[in-house]
Amino acid sequence: METAAFIDEVATRLVDYLESKDPNERVNPSRSLASMRRTLDLQLPLEGHGMDAVLDDLDAFIANSVKTHRPEFMNPLWGGLTLPALAGEIVASMTNNSMYTYELSPIATVIEQTVVKRMCEMVGFPDGFGTFTTGGSNGNMLGMLCAREHLISGSTKNGFDGRSTVIFVSAEAHYSVLMAANVIGIGHQNIIKVQCDEHGRMDPDRLQEEIAFARQEGMRPLCIVATAATTVRGAYDDLEALSDIAHREGLWLHVDAAWGGTCLFSNRHRTLMDGVDKADSVCWDAHKMMGVPLICSAFLVKKPEVLRRLCDHTNVAHYLFHADAELDDLGRYSLQCARRNDALKLWLDWRARGDAGWARMVDERMADADHLQQNIEDHPSLEMMSSRMWTNVCFRYTVDDDDVDLNDLNTDLRNRLIQEGSFMVSRSNIGDDVVLRMIVANQNLDRDTLDRFLARVVHHGQEILRGLPAA
């Protein structure tokens, strides 16, 4: 098949996918995993099947994928798709530049520098810099590693004994901090989970006590990881209070703003992150609220030289790095060697919308979440399960009957939504309670979908109470 004909075929599939308005289309595939293994030919052949088969394989893939662009997809902290960002993703793959050196990715380097510097300005690091990473998990790890390099100078080169080194995080922090504790060599048990207040924010007084206790026990406090906003409840830690403690105690403050960093665009909501300028590092996922396709995540640091030291590979990679481009080779600020160009898609979307477009998006998402919350509060069979700061709406179906186990009911309810392919929403826990965690982030979400969603939740809740089996 000719290149143009093949690309046309692929483009037709893209358009069909994006423009599908079929209200009956499922958000997730109906086939079970077992049936998929049984019925689809996914084996790698000895002799190739040729280009036509590639198109058939693409059709099978699309048909059996979760439709994350549909408004009914509201499970994780991302969803929907915008055209500029999709175009950036495609062209980044096509040009296939790798971000390690300026020589091999000239314009991509300048674009990444532009985006990183702008994000640094937004968090209040005027002289800061950073890098794109493989996600917020990786950004949290870089924050912890920078803390290590900063406080235990030379540990990047000399190694360190992590046994008594401790890091303080919110009890509701994302699990990536545990994964990072393993990688940086301190171990899960040296992550100290600080109790939260009733809204899910790290309690500064408890933090202060935990630090004092750790010092008393002969531990070495290294860093505080604050969260803006948390994964389940969308709670923003009080960054002013935590930065005061960090400065007083001489600790690094990393802010995990993977989910909530986008509030900084909005005049109305940016106060959620007041004090972020006093932190040392921040991670911020553009693939979450900003809707840029996975992966698009920035790690930002106030003092670029710390990241530079952390990523220093001396001059062993003489086949890539030379002194003449020392200041512009982004591979000197990353732990990766080959690295995708993830900045292009964000840059294109940002250029298309401007700061004002992102601000409108944040305000609209928050207003949609307010709308959802209001409808939940107004409904006698629904209840909010947490206060709200961001667009996480944690709620459940409820009934005034002690014989009904609400955890079982809501688990069943959520399974029915998935089974019928109508909506995808997360099942989470707050304390001992099972909640439906609804996220307003999908770029294609609208009020009609939110209303349909609640109606379906109520429908299933009623059917379960009546003892009716799933359809």
**Amino acid code (one letter) for 41:** D
> Applying CB under 6 A, which of residues 196, 202, 258, 344 lies at the interface with ligand PLP?
258
Q: Which two tokens stand for residue 406?
A: 């609400």
Residue whose entry in the numeric block shows the structure tokens 């690295």: 339
Q: Is 137 in the site for ligand PLP (CB under 6 A)?
A: yes
Q: Is 259 in the site for ligand PLP (CB under 6 A)?
A: yes
Cis status, amide bond into 229, omega within 30 of 0: yes
Neighbours of 51 (CB within 10 A): 12
421: left (phi over 0), alpha (psi -120 to 50) or beta: left
Nearer to ligand PLP, 297 or 341 (CB): 297
User: Is there a contact between 361 and 339 (Cβ–Cβ < 8 Å)?
Assistant: no
SS3 label, residue 259 = coil
> Applying CB under 6 A, which of residues 77, 417, 445, 464 lies at the interface with ligand PLP?
77
Residue 338 CB, shortest distance to ligand PLP, in Å, is: 19
Residues contacting residue 141 through CB under 8 Å, at least 6 positions apart: 176, 179, 180, 183, 184
By CB under 6 A, which span of 205-213, 223-231, 372-380, 407-415 interacts with ligand PLP? 223-231
Nearer to ligand PLP, 88 or 461 (CB): 88
Q: Is 427 in the site for ligand PLP (CB under 6 A)?
A: no
Q: For the segment 272-291, give every residue that binds ligand PLP (CB under 6 A).
A: 285
Residues contacting residue 89 through CB under 8 Å, at least 6 positions apart: 293, 345
Q: Is 254 in the site for ligand PLP (CB under 6 A)?
A: no
Residue 166 CB, shortest distance to ligand PLP, in Å, is: 20
By CB under 6 A, which span of 14-22, 62-70, 225-233, 274-282 interacts with ligand PLP? 225-233
Calculate the CA 136 to chain-centre distance.
Answer: 6
Q: Which two tokens stand for residue 440?
A: 């307003």
Residue 426 CB, shortest distance to ligand PLP, in Å, is: 10
Residue 387 CB, shortest distance to ligand PLP, in Å, is: 17
Q: Angle of helix 176-184 relative to helix 136-151, nearest 10 degrees?
A: 40
DSSP assignment of 187-213:
-GGGEEEEPB-TTS-B-HHHHHHHHHH
User: Is there a contact between 153 and 331 (Cβ–Cβ < 8 Å)?
Assistant: no
By CB under 6 A, which span of 41-49, 135-143, 385-393, 446-454 interacts with ligand PLP? 135-143
Neighbours of 383 (CB within 10 A): 14
Residue 287 CB, shortest distance to ligand PLP, in Å, is: 7
Nearer to ligand PLP, 257 or 413 (CB): 257
Q: Is 298 in the site for ligand PLP (CB under 6 A)?
A: no
Q: Is 331 in the site for ligand PLP (CB under 6 A)?
A: no
Nearer to ligand PLP, 176 or 243 (CB): 176
Q: For the segment 344-383, give every residue that binds ligand PLP (CB under 6 A).
A: none
Q: Is 68 in the site for ligand PLP (CB under 6 A)?
A: no
Nearer to ligand PLP, 102 or 252 (CB): 252
Nearer to ligand PLP, 348 or 441 (CB): 441
Residue whose entry in the numeric block shows the structure tokens 């540990």: 155
Number of H helices, E strands in the chain: 14, 12
Q: Is 135 in the site for ligand PLP (CB under 6 A)?
A: yes
Please classify residue 104 by burial: count the beta carbons closer than 10 Å to its beta carbon, then call 0-12 exposed, 13-18 middle and 19+ buried: middle
Residue 147 CB, shortest distance to ligand PLP, in Å, is: 16
> Bridge-partner residues for 297, per DSSP?
133, 285
> Applying CB under 6 A, which of residues 131, 155, 165, 176 lies at the interface with ligand PLP?
176
Q: Is 174 in the site for ligand PLP (CB under 6 A)?
A: yes
> Applying CB under 6 A, which of residues 72, 112, 203, 256 lies at the interface with ligand PLP?
256
Tell which residue, 350, 390, 345, has the closest CA to residue 367: 390
Per-residue buried b or exposed e for 3-24, using 16+ beta carbons within 10 Å of the residue's own CB: eeeeeeeeeeeeeeeeeeeeee
Total number of residues binding ligand PLP (CB under 6 A)? 14
> Applying CB under 6 A, which of residues 84, 128, 130, 136 lies at the interface with ligand PLP?
136
Q: For the segment 103-132, give every residue that binds ligand PLP (CB under 6 A).
A: none
Nearer to ligand PLP, 174 or 414 (CB): 174
Residue numbers of the site for ligand PLP (CB under 6 A)?
Answer: 77, 135-137, 174, 176, 227, 230-231, 256, 258-259, 285, 297
